[in-house]
Amino acid sequence: MTSRLENKGPYYIDFPGRIKAIQQEMAKEHIDVYLGSRLRTLSWTLDAFCPWRSFVVIPCEGVPSAFTFVIDAARVADETWI
């Protein structure tokens, strides 16, 4: 079985790479944590649609965490790469 994150062609999006790039910029600016709440930010970092007041927490190292309403939690958990 192949990994969901394995490069599968020209339409592959490197979501972990996006997070690492954000974390590199955070390190340059001495930022400990990034909170993202805009729909575009959530989609760009999580690969999931969060229509409600959700947010992503990106630490300076490691995997981000997503927070959303309970009615969307199972769907978002299934859709996202994290």
Separation of first and last alpha carbons in the chain? 18
8 within domain boundaries: no
Question: Nearest-5° angle of CA 45, CA 48, CA 53?
Answer: 85
pLDDT of residue 16: 94
Residue from 22, 6, 31, 30 nearest 64 by CA: 22
60 within domain boundaries: yes
Contact 82, 64 (CB under 8 A): yes
4 within domain boundaries: no
For the chain, how many structural domains are there in total?
A: 1
C-alpha 19, offset from chain centre: 7
pLDDT in tens, 17-72: 999 999 999 999 999 999 999 999 999 999 999 877 899 999 999 999 999 999 99
69 within domain boundaries: yes
Q: Identify the domain containing residue 74 by its residue range.
A: 15-79
Mean pLDDT score, 7-18: 85
46 within domain boundaries: yes
How much is the pTM?
A: 0.83
pLDDT of residue 52: 79
